[in-house]
Structure 1
Amino acid sequence: MNAKAEAGASGLDTAKLVAAAAIVIAALWGFYFFAEYSLLLRVVVLLALSGGAAAIALTSVPGRQLWRFAIDARMEVRKVVWPTRQETIQTTLIVMVMVLILGILLWLFDMVLMAILRFLTGQGG
């Protein structure tokens, strides 16, 4: 990594993030404070202010790192080889059968242990 990436957030970056958080908090407060106004108007203003706060936050070093991470994650998702419908159904059925078999085995094991415990404690019929 280079020195700029390792340096982290500067004072200006911290101020940007604090300003973005303050805008979001003010937008939420305004959304509920002006409850008598149209819901559509309040949602539009809330979304606009939240978008502005996101734009401010993305201009900081942590914001740019987050954006880079999102782009890289999207690129990795494109590389994934997704299973076909048939493979998904077969795998699901195998899991369901194994859960059923394991449930029956655990139930039988529990019954045997309970019978042994009743025999040892004298509570059996």
Structure 2
Amino acid sequence: MSEKVESQSGSSSVLGAIKWVVVAALVAAAVFGNSYFSEMSPLYRALGVLAVALVAAFVALQTEQGKAFNQLRKDSAVELRKVVWPTRQETLQTTLIVLVFVLIVALLLFVLDWALNGMISTLIG
């Protein structure tokens, strides 16, 4: 039974590799086609590249890595819905606090620089 499982995973990896080669060939064809048909309208070339990219994405999503990526995308969307976003007032208050602290630190650095510059100038002559 373990031989059957190994055989299936081996053929699955070969099939996955073939799918990735097809994806790479489609991307290469889109790049070459865009260059080869440079005299055509950019709109038609963009639509052609988009169509080939969609086919390449579809093929890539049929691989194990593509399925895992799609599942990650779905899980991320679910987690994003769980995020509690700050209200407008909270955002404004936080922004104001950051600005005040930046101004305070800038003022302290200015005074420190001014004082050190005066001391060095006095020392040097």
Q: What TM-score comes out, normalization by structure 2 length?
A: 0.82
Mapping 1:74-89, distance limit 5 Å = 74-89=77-92
Q: TM-score, normalised by structure 1?
A: 0.82
Structure with greater helix share of residues: 2
Change in CA separation of 1:116 and 1:32 when aligned onto 2, cut-off 3 Å: same
Q: Paired residue for 2:113?
A: 110
| Cα distance per residue 1:56-114 (max 9 Å; x no partner) | 11111111111111111111110000011111111111111111111111111122222
Give the percent of matched residue pairs that are identical in Structure 1 and Structure 2: 43
1:68 equivalent to 2:71? Answer yes
**C-alpha offsets along residues 19-48 of structure 1, whole Å, 9 cap, x if unaligned?**
212211210221122011222222221111
Structure 2 unaligned spans of 5+: 1-8
User: What is the DSSP-based 3-state SS (H/G/I as helix, E as strand, rest coil) of the residue aligned with 2:85?
Assistant: coil
State how far apart, in whole Å, the 1-side matches of 2:68 and 2:29 are.
Answer: 26
Q: Which protein has greater RCO, CA pairs closer than 8 Å, 6+ apart?
A: 1
2 CA distance for matches of 1:10 and 1:107?
Answer: 63
Match of 1:10 in 2: 13
In structure 1, runs of 5+ residues without a counterpart are: 1-6
